[in-house]
Structure 1
Amino acid sequence: MVVATRNRRERLRETVPRHLASVILVDNGSDDGGPDEYAGVDVLRLGSNIGAAARNAGVERARTPFVAFADDDSWWEPGSLAAAAGVLRAYPETALISARVLVGPQLVEDPICRAMAEARIGVPDDAPGPSILGFLACAVMVRRDAFLQAGGFNPMLHVYGEEALLAMDLAAAGHRLSYVPELTVRHMPLPAGRDNSRRRRMEVRNRVLTAMLRRPGNVVRRTVAEAWREDRGGVADAFKLLPRVLRQRRPLPQNLERDLQLLS
């Protein structure tokens, strides 16, 4: 299991003991002294904050065929990790499976779970559940080789909404992504402490970047127009990266674009 963290050493003292598998704890340049050392936990200290790409470093360090992700405020319920590995063994065409996410002490199902369960793009016979093109990174297990071949999480996106691009790239490479609600992840986000305006700006930026990197021109124009009304700063931040975007732009196969259109 890979857990990326930054400035959450107190939170980790609560969540690390709940992990029932070997853990690679990736410290994303914490300036609070970083996470503690834990028996049986491999702590990888990066020295700088590279956002979601810190998970890539953890996956590269791992030597298991499958790797689960958790955040520093989440954990997989007992039995779910072993069951997830069994699913990936049984379905070799599937590169990513997403668990059901229960939030807070009230065990409220995350709204994304209902969206994944709707199976709007079908339930293939050779897949363990509904096909998905989105997920929460704290609640998935991936096939290590497929994840690395797809490039993992794009460093350009840093954090917030980074999952969409990886989902597209895995699907474009011919892999299946599935929702398996029999698996369960607990998510216990802190009630406060995040800069919501910064988060919104980053989410808008990354939505625009993802569209420019993979989607056709008409979708890019629509995404930019909608994002401009939501947060102009986020759009401006995205366009500052346009030279890098153009070097990495790779339009999706038509069948995958049709699925994305259906989901939208």
Structure 2
Amino acid sequence: MDNRLDSRTAVKDTLPTVFGYIGIGIAFGIVAKASGMSPLLVFLMSVITYAGSAQFVAVSMLAAHSPILSIVFAIFLVNSRMILMSTTVARYFNKSSMLKNVIIGSLLTDETFALSMNKRNYTDNQLGFAWMNTANLIAYGTWIISSVVGAVLGNLITNPDKFGLDFALIAMFMGLLYLQVISDKSLSRLLQLIVIVLTCALVYLGLIFIPSNILILVVTLVGCTLGMVIKHAFF
């Protein structure tokens, strides 16, 4: 990464994350096809809903003939973490128009959020609409194409886990986390490692006591609070 915030640089910065979208997108398409959805419906869901984990939830609940209100509520809970992410990103675009902020917020994903937080380490804590919007559009297009490809291949690949596709997204986030740690000079490396270990412990304990659809939101709030306390108390 470098300090440029133009569209061409965004393409270069975002391309390494594309493989994560391809893997999990194909996996979703295969799962959706196995649940009885046509490639057209998969396409429409990816275009309109555009929420990876929530789409998996929606497909499984549709297959189980769950009430529509239950599906809507479940998707809201799964995606509620985006409220926190959008709020964090919004402060970098307070001089942009409302329309531009809506566009960025509508297409923001976990991956582009993590990518943007890493990018600001190289740009003196700045982000630009051209860079952010290009990153979001690449993610959006890749997800749509990959999910449709997965739906088309659904008859040929019945078990995506056998090819390790279920691990693609996890591997991508591990890479983004590593880049964030080594490039962020504003925080102590020890503090970052403590928060990472603490977050892992919270997730492990949370899986025992907290419903999985709100686990990420709860762990994010608790982890950020504890990280702030530790930083001010010891660093």
Highest RCO, 1 vs 2 (Cα 8 Å, sep ≥ 6): 2
TM-score range (shorter-chain normalised) is 0.3 to 0.5
More helix by share: 2
TM-score (norm 2): 0.33
More strand by share: 1
TM-score (norm 1): 0.31
